[in-house]
Structure 1
């Protein structure tokens, strides 16, 4: 579809990517709020985050177009080449995550997995509240996991701040709105980027696997 300004309006982000993105934003904030006085909600939020991250990892291989890791995870040479153009004022026309942004996405997903993973083993100071796998480790290990859990959240906060700063930088300096496509799914390009979608059965399979894994973890890896 031709855009009014002469470019091509094309589908960039599919619904699964957009839903996961905004759901993670909401759940990270919710988990932070619930971490002190609403631990049961905090746990269920964590299980949901685990399911979403697992789905996003699976979708990075099974999805289509810009959702695939192969489309945005680049080697050091391409990352360095893109970094040299970072302060050019021209709008960015990369169809999806750029080579630098791609690695930031992987970093956030990895940190979220560590965050949830450590939470599964945590135990509070009174040994009254704990994650679903806290009975598999000693009290001392559970307390150490709780401290790591807190530390990893600080790392996650730093990554989120950098992510938001990058979005603002692209909007103000490079005149590229990265927020609108993540809401609507559409973006205008100079030419059609040719981003193909993925069949529905892959989506259903990825959802089923991610949901089953999150449920199994919530039960302490017990059927």
Structure 2
């Protein structure tokens, strides 16, 4: 077996962010009751972490920055067009980068609609509750796609990307 170089890709903040968000989403979707205080607090924690991650996307470590992994439309379409011959990225691939943005926007949308439901103006408004539920369900579909994609890419790259999100390292296969 040849010597494999490992690179520190996911810094401690990105990993904490990821697992806090996983926990918040799991708890609020499957465990807590809508409208109850724990559900609200967990939702606000998730939204706050997304806001922090947004700032970290500009000021954080190299692989945490949006400029490192957020690709333009042309790059995304080329990646999809040549999918069977795609190259390996140290951070997110072009599609995964946009999935991260999508999931973070869903969390923000849930935070906003959740907040709205607690205000006098929107309390009891059916459309706000429906929108909140739609965003939650669409986000969970995105989470499922994200998990399947991470497992598929782990197989394709022959490395455990989930473990990488625990210890922060990834094999350098970009050569």
Q: By the TM > 0.5 criterion, same fold? A: yes
What is the aligned partner in structure 2 of residue 148 from structure 1? Answer: 131
Separation in structure 1 between the aligned mates of residue 170 and residue 139 of structure 2, nearest angstrom: 28
- Pick closer, same or farther for the CA change 1:172–1:81 going to 2, 3 Å: same
- Pick closer, same or farther for the CA change 1:120–1:177 going to 2, 3 Å: same
- Pick closer, same or farther for the CA change 1:103–1:191 going to 2, 3 Å: closer
What is the aligned partner in structure 2 of residue 52 from structure 1? Answer: 49
Separation in structure 2 between the aligned mates of residue 71 and residue 25 of structure 1, nearest angstrom: 23
2:162 is aligned with 1:179: yes
Counterpart of 1:120 (choices 115, 125, 140) is 115
Which structure 2 segments of 5+ residues have no match?
none
* Matched residue SS, 1:117: helix
Which structure 1 segments of 5+ residues have no match?
123-130, 193-223
Superposition CA RMSD, Å? 2.1
Counterpart of 2:33 (choices 32, 35, 39) is 35
TM-score by length of 2: 0.90
Does the 8 A contact of 2:70 with 2:97 survive in 1? Answer: yes
Alignment size in residue pairs:
174
Shift of 1:191: 7.0
What is the aligned partner in structure 2 of residue 205 from structure 1? Answer: none
2:106 is aligned with 1:111: yes
- Pick closer, same or farther for the CA change 1:85–1:177 going to 2, 3 Å: farther
2:133 is aligned with 1:168: no
Does the 8 A contact of 1:18 with 1:185 survive in 2? Answer: yes
- Pick closer, same or farther for the CA change 1:20–1:138 going to 2, 3 Å: closer
Shift of 1:138: 4.5
What is the aligned partner in structure 2 of residue 95 from structure 1? Answer: 90
* Matched residue SS, 1:167: helix
